[in-house]
Structure 1
Amino acid sequence: MESETLDTSSIRKIAIIGSGLAGLTAAIMLGRSGHQVRVFEKSRGPGGRLASKRVANGAVDVGAQYFTSRNPAFLKFLEDYAGADRFGPWRGTFGFQKAQEGWQPFPGESRYVGIPRMTAITRGLSEHVELTAQVRIERITRTGARWQLVSTDGKELGEFDQVVITAPPAQTQELLAASGMTQLLSETHAPGGDILPCWAVAVHFLKAPSAPFDAMRPDSDVLYWVANNSSKPGRDDSGQWWVLHATPEWTKANVDTTPETVTNELLTAFRGLTGFSGVPVESVAHRWLYARSASTDQPGFLWDQGQGVGVAGDWLVGGRVEGAWESANRLAEAMQAGE
């Protein structure tokens, strides 16, 4: 009988900072190769931009509203690791408004959402990784040939051979600066230099508003996106939840405005758009300081093989949801190629 010996010299301890789609993808792909991977998340649970807010009798999506897939392998990954029942097509009607031409339908394309909320996808993916939540990493410090993670409250969280950072660009840059990684920090400036903010407001009406489409890109100085969240599959809502996203320009001008004022301003613009005068029975507002990338510099990922530190995220591939998966995949491949 032949005996087999496991070569543990090729097994690395890897820390992933951030549990959005990029972080969870990197953790799954590297873990699948046999490495010991641990994910650290500053919030209570995974999600990133696939974010939902708990509301009465359910949840409402306040982050990414849907995603598309150009690479069939992306949907296969979600089926395998999130679960085929955790997402599905959103068959609502989509339209955009032109100043002189009125409303036009969006081009035909399959659009997908998490079921029963966007966070169902990252919740499903997180079941395959070791996740430590409610811990914010302040810096990483070199201890010999390994990295020590240090939290904002001064706790040391263990030593790792390699580190992957999947936080938004500003937070990634703060972490790299605090860790003295000037070269990798400089490589983040171009792709991370133009991240647009967004105020998001969700309002609940008992009586359904009348609108030309379920999801709309209006010609507006205030509203960038308007959507009937209740038209998505798996949302068993009484009445209707509508999600209103402000334009980047309006958000920048009102970034420090109170949530109450923002809600009133976006609701006024919504009424002007639809002619609906109903009063919401519930509302929730969320400010995204780093909503989407407008940079044309798209390196895909960043990897310092000598230091063993990489960066992944949708902002490195143009900002699409699928881009987070693509970025993490490409980084994982580069890390394994250097073994």
Structure 2
Amino acid sequence: MESETSDNSSIRNIAVIGSGLAGLTAAIMLGQSGHRVRVFEKSRGPGGRMASKRVADGAVDVGAQYFTSRSPAFLEFLEQYAGNNCFGSWAATFGFQQSDKSWQPFPDEPRYVGIPRMTAITRRLSEHVELTAQVRIARLNRIGARWQLVCTEGKEHGEFDQVVVTAPPAQTQELLAASGLTSLMNETQAPGGDILPCWAVAAYFTEAPPAAFDAMRPDSDVLYWVANNSSKPGRNDSGQWWVLHATAEWTEANVDASPERVSYDLLAAFRQLTGFNGAASESVTHRWLYARSESRVKPVYLWNQSEGVGIAGDWLVGGRVEGAWTSASRLAQAMRAG
């Protein structure tokens, strides 16, 4: 993929809020067009839902488990800006359990993961942008024709000609409401109304649990997803780390439960699923309030040219990892055209 440049002599200052895949994609593409771009991230580093948790012997993926690519341009983008050594194919066996408890293999297709962890991809992408971490933008103040960014601590973080928001829908709506952008906020409600939560537990076993597949979608009231994280390339674990994702329904019913209780319940369901009675010697728990989108409304991106504010994210195009790239790249194209 060749770098794109713009013949537009009007160089703009653009703020991007959020440093997940959508935010980094938008920042890179707009920067390649000659604009000055600055990314703001509320956490300590980039990644969004392509997140990993540090553990004793490395890291374990607690967010997005893998990604696919329907567009060759997506992989080309990753190869150019992240490098092909930070992601690779996950040659795992995938199975889903039917209501009669029998198992069927997933459809065969290439699946990719970050190496040695999912965040390796966003870390490398972030090297191409100016990133300000641990700053949560609370509102945008209109100053003439520009937007002044103000964080939750009341500090000002510069003025920008345009702003791209890549936060989850609830946080995006909160920011737009605080900024007086009611019309744009209303546009987010249809595609952003059903982002599902998810409790995640990663558990370490010195003895390998018996499992017919490396990754499973069980027929369970508790478990939505189960995967052997150690089966991914570049993971050099002495035992096995397994990642357990709860169903949205179970998560909603237990959203305020303690991490200890969540870990206990998900591991109990895992033992019931696999018949494995071994104890986990280590575990980490993470609550995703905004994990998966099941919206049928897919505008891909939102762009209000008169206000100079755009919105991108996987939740605007179906929820897949590649969707974050699709949304952001389409928004960047619209902003360049405008």
The equivalent of 1:78 in structure 2 is 78
Read off the aligned partner of 1:114 and give its amino acid letter: G
Deviations 1:284-323 (A, max 9, x none): 0000000011110010000000000000000000100000
Deviations 1:109-147 (A, max 9, x none): 000000000000000100000000000000001101111
The equivalent of 1:218 in structure 2 is 218
The equivalent of 2:234 in structure 1 is 234
How far off is 1:99 after superposition?
2.2
How far off is 1:9 after superposition?
4.7
Alpha-carbon distance between aligned partners in 1 of 2:75 and 2:295, rounded to the nearest angstrom: 26
The equivalent of 2:90 in structure 1 is 90
Which structure 1 residue ranges, 4+ long, deviate > 6 Å from structure 2?
Answer: none
Deviations 1:247-293 (A, max 9, x none): 01100100001110000000000000000001111000000000011
Deviations 1:167-219 (A, max 9, x none): 00000000000001000000000000000000000000001101010000001
**SS of equivalent residue, structure 2 residue 323:** helix
For structure 2, which runs of at least 5 residues remain unmatched after alignment? 1-5
Read off the aligned partner of 1:314 and give its amino acid letter: D
Deviations 1:10-55 (A, max 9, x none): 1000000000000000000000000000000000000001000000
Alpha-carbon distance between aligned partners in 1 of 2:262 and 2:101, rounded to the nearest angstrom: 29
The equivalent of 1:182 in structure 2 is 182
How far off is 1:8 after superposition?
8.3
The equivalent of 2:266 in structure 1 is 266
The equivalent of 1:3 in structure 2 is none
**SS of equivalent residue, structure 1 residue 236:** coil
Alpha-carbon distance between aligned partners in 2 of 1:93 and 1:299, rounded to the nearest angstrom: 34
For the Cα contact (< 8 Å) 2:101–2:219, is it kept in 1? no
The equivalent of 1:324 in structure 2 is 324
TM-score (normalised: structure 2)? 0.97
**SS of equivalent residue, structure 2 residue 237:** coil
Q: Does 1:110 align with 2:110?
A: yes
Alpha-carbon distance between aligned partners in 1 of 2:252 and 2:305, rounded to the nearest angstrom: 37
The equivalent of 2:53 in structure 1 is 53
Alpha-carbon distance between aligned partners in 1 of 2:123 and 2:39, rounded to the nearest angstrom: 13
The equivalent of 1:299 in structure 2 is 299
Q: Does 1:153 align with 2:153?
A: yes
How far off is 1:57 after superposition?
1.2
**SS of equivalent residue, structure 2 residue 23:** helix
Alpha-carbon distance between aligned partners in 2 of 1:116 and 1:96, rounded to the nearest angstrom: 26
Alpha-carbon distance between aligned partners in 2 of 1:92 and 1:326, rounded to the nearest angstrom: 26
Alpha-carbon distance between aligned partners in 2 of 1:103 and 1:237, rounded to the nearest angstrom: 27
Aligned-residue CA RMSD (Å)? 1.1
Alpha-carbon distance between aligned partners in 2 of 1:15 and 1:23, rounded to the nearest angstrom: 10
Q: 1:55 to 1:262 in 2, by over 3 A?
A: same
Alpha-carbon distance between aligned partners in 1 of 2:222 and 2:110, rounded to the nearest angstrom: 27
Alpha-carbon distance between aligned partners in 2 of 1:226 and 1:145, rounded to the nearest angstrom: 50
For structure 1, which runs of at least 5 residues remain unmatched after alignment? 1-5
Alpha-carbon distance between aligned partners in 2 of 1:213 and 1:63, rounded to the nearest angstrom: 20
TM-score (normalised: structure 1)? 0.97
The equivalent of 2:3 in structure 1 is none
Q: Does 1:22 align with 2:33?
A: no
Read off the aligned partner of 1:149 and give its amino acid letter: L
For the Cα contact (< 8 Å) 2:216–2:227, is it kept in 1? yes
Number of aligned residues: 333
Deviations 1:228-258 (A, max 9, x none): 0000000000100000000011001000011
Q: Percent of counterpart pairs with the same letter? A: 78
Q: 1:226 to 1:308 in 2, by over 3 A?
A: same
Read off the aligned partner of 1:167 and give its amino acid letter: A
Read off the aligned partner of 1:79 and give its amino acid letter: E
**SS of equivalent residue, structure 1 residue 84:** coil
Alpha-carbon distance between aligned partners in 2 of 1:55 and 1:189, rounded to the nearest angstrom: 37
Alpha-carbon distance between aligned partners in 2 of 1:210 and 1:70, rounded to the nearest angstrom: 33
**SS of equivalent residue, structure 1 residue 269:** helix
Alpha-carbon distance between aligned partners in 2 of 1:249 and 1:180, rounded to the nearest angstrom: 34
The equivalent of 1:133 in structure 2 is 133
Alpha-carbon distance between aligned partners in 2 of 1:209 and 1:8, rounded to the nearest angstrom: 58
Alpha-carbon distance between aligned partners in 1 of 2:107 and 2:150, rounded to the nearest angstrom: 47
